[in-house]
A and B are shown apart, each in its own frame.
Chain A
Amino acid sequence: MSASASEGSSLRVLGVVKEFPSPDNANVRTLALAGVTVSVAAGELVSIVGPSGCGKSTLLRLIAGLDSPNSGELWIGDVPIIAPSAERGLVFQDPNLFPWLTVRRNIQAGLVARGVLQEKRHEVDEFLRLVGLDAFANAFPHHLSGGMSQRVALARALINHPKVLLLDEPLGALDAFTRMRMQDEVLRLWQARRTTMLLVTHDIDEAIYMSDRIVIMTPSPGRIERTISVAQDRPRQRSSPEFLRLRGEILELLHFAGNATRDRSTVSPGVSPDAADGSPGDDRKPPEQADPAMVKQNTQSGAVHSLREALSSRKNSTSLLRHSGLPPG
């Protein structure tokens, strides 16, 4: 785990097009991805944000090798992606735990599948502890909460030490505290191993907090609107001016994307509470795009917003969590 060299490999997605037959008419095809090109360097952490239905999950499935594109190429290093492999771990949007296996057996499924359970058995306990579920090792998935299930799914993907880790909203069902703790855990793992990571999220703060670059996608048809680099040292402060400036920029891009498709409701609910952040008393400028409607939304969710702000303004949010009785990382 202490390897300083990158365990990851570079990833290239070149002009990928993916169509699906439309559900009601087989002759009509919906264009889920219209020529997407991304490249991720070895050991880089890249986030994908974008409204619902813009093809984020579709892209991850293609990279995982579960589906094949209609045209375009996908490469891991200099090897083309043709089939799924344990080198590319995918944490699905739904946890999809095997209901007939206990938590422990779900986590060790990858070891069993690769036939390396004997040598790597000790890691199962490490990962159980990492996701804070050692007490539930022998529980069946049915008895877990949504957030616990997601943590098991994360551990299940991590145990294979994939070279590329694809995360489809892995922290979506977690509460704010656990979520921040898991963000730091994922970052810690990433920093220790330098796995290449592609993280789909609806939480713009999460994207800025974690990633080296943020890919912004827009729907109908799904394509990449812009890629933004985040050039801040980690751990990042969620209330730093640079952080807030980036958030404003991303929101503006998504906002226009929403307008372009005449369907602003597709911008996920996780986005709108953070819409504008002009909290008075802060010595920074409110973002330019804050239109009246969004400011109104913002005041409604003001309490949540400022709590999060307060938490994130601490340099190390985990130390705060430790005092609040949550299990330390």
Chain B
Amino acid sequence: MNTSVQETNEPVQMAEEKTARAVGINSPAAPRARVRTLLAIPVAASVALVVHLFVSKNQPAPETYSYSVFLGSILLSGVLAAAGQSFSSHLMRWMRHMGPIIAAAVSLACFWEVITSGLRLLPLPYFPGPAGVLQSLIDDRALLLDSAWNSLKLLLAGYALGVAVALVTGVCIGWFNQARYWGMPLLKVVGPIPATAWIPLAMVLSPSPRFSAIGIIALAVWFPVTMLTASGISNTRASYLDVARTLGAREPYLVLRVAIPAAMPSIFIGLFMGLGAAFLTLVVAETVGVKSGLGWYVAWKQGWAEYGKVYAALVIMAAFFSTIMTLLFKVRDRVLVWQKGVIKW
């Protein structure tokens, strides 16, 4: 990074500087490739803004206003980031990485606006334009936030319960022959049933729908995490266990400090699969039972044919789920640092 900052200060870069001036960017000289990267967001946002203003002449005023402000702020932050990046190498790295992706997202929104509000290729009210969705998001923000919060609570409770039980059962099945003999058939028969298929039974059995939803999510998480924990534990290299034994290790050490660390890569695969299963089960459980959360919100708004709000909820869901996924990746990177260089990272 530092080297390229230095490069920008060298007079050799005069030609690029001219190019940059010609395009009207008020930034210090930069290699050509980076100029293109820098321009991506402002250009995409400007195009989207022009398209929007052109398309939305006959749209309701508040929608037009908020979407214009939205695109305008992207344009502004794009320009600011482009200008400010020579001061912060962190910002520059971020821009270099995220610039094209953000620009692509803005262009996609623009394309969406053209085929919906612009050319009206898709039937209303099922396919509102981006401006409508943004307006729904703003109008219903309190309820959406509340729903997201409720979903988060349900998800975390179910996921934590499922993982906790699965780690215990997985380690037992992977380590003890008795547990494997009895546990494996159960796992093989019960595990593959989609957790959502248990919903009718859970609703009968449990006093509250929230309670049954937590149980169902936990069940969905339990299967993959148990399976991969058990296989990770039983695949521990025998020589690691031999070494530990000759060092005086007893069974607790062998399980907790040899088999479990050795199984960690496998356990994390289970945790990721379990998280995916948890998202699915959460939304289904909220749709059919629980009277709150994002899944419930989507079903409810669909009943009223308020598709703008349905999409708004989907946008929130996407942000919400991907944030949680990213957090799990961060945890994995922390726990499995020792794998860096051992596997393709």
A→B interface (CB under 8 Å): 61, 64-66, 83-86, 88-90, 92, 94, 96, 98-101, 109-110, 112-114, 140, 142-143, 156-157, 160
Contacts and interface: CB of A to CB of B under 8 A. Distances in A.
B338 A140 contact: yes
Contacts of A96: 237, 239-240, 242-243
Given A92-B242, A96-B240, A98-B258, A113 B342 contact: no
Given A92-B242, A142-B338, A110 B247 contact: yes
A66 B258 contact: no
Nearest to B254: A113
B78 to A, nearest CB: 41
24 contacts: A65-B245, A66-B246, A83-B245, A85-B248, A86-B246, A88-B246, A89-B246, A90-B243, A90-B246, A92-B243, A98-B243, A99-B342, A100-B261, A100-B262, A100-B264, A101-B338, A109-B244, A112-B257, A113-B244, A140-B341, A142-B341, A143-B341, A156-B247, A157-B247
A99 B247 contact: no
A66 B242 contact: yes
Given A84-B248, A92-B243, A113-B257, 6 more contacts: A64-B242, A96-B239, A98-B243, A101-B338, A112-B253, A142-B338
B239 A110 contact: no
A160 B247 CA distance: 7
A113 B249 contact: yes
B241 to A, nearest CB: 9
Interface in B236-275: 237, 239-240, 242-250, 253, 257-258, 261-262, 264
Interface centre among B246, B258, B262, B342 (most CB of A within 10 A): B246
B247 A86 contact: yes
Given A113-B244, A114-B248, A94 B239 contact: yes
Interface of B: 237, 239-240, 242-250, 253, 257-258, 261-262, 264, 337-342
Contact of B247 (A65, A89, A94, A143): A89
A92 B239 contact: yes
B338 A100 contact: yes
Contacts of B257: 109, 112-113
A109 B247 contact: yes
Nearest to B335: A100
Contact of B240 (A66, A85, A98): A98
Contacts of A99: 338-339, 342
A172 B47 CA distance: 68
A146 to B, nearest CB: 15
Nearest first, the 10 A-B pairs at minimum CB distance are: A86-B248, A110-B247, A113-B249, A84-B245, A100-B261, A90-B246, A114-B248, A100-B338, A140-B338, A96-B239
A92 B339 CA distance: 23
Nearest to A109: B247
A90 B244 CA distance: 10
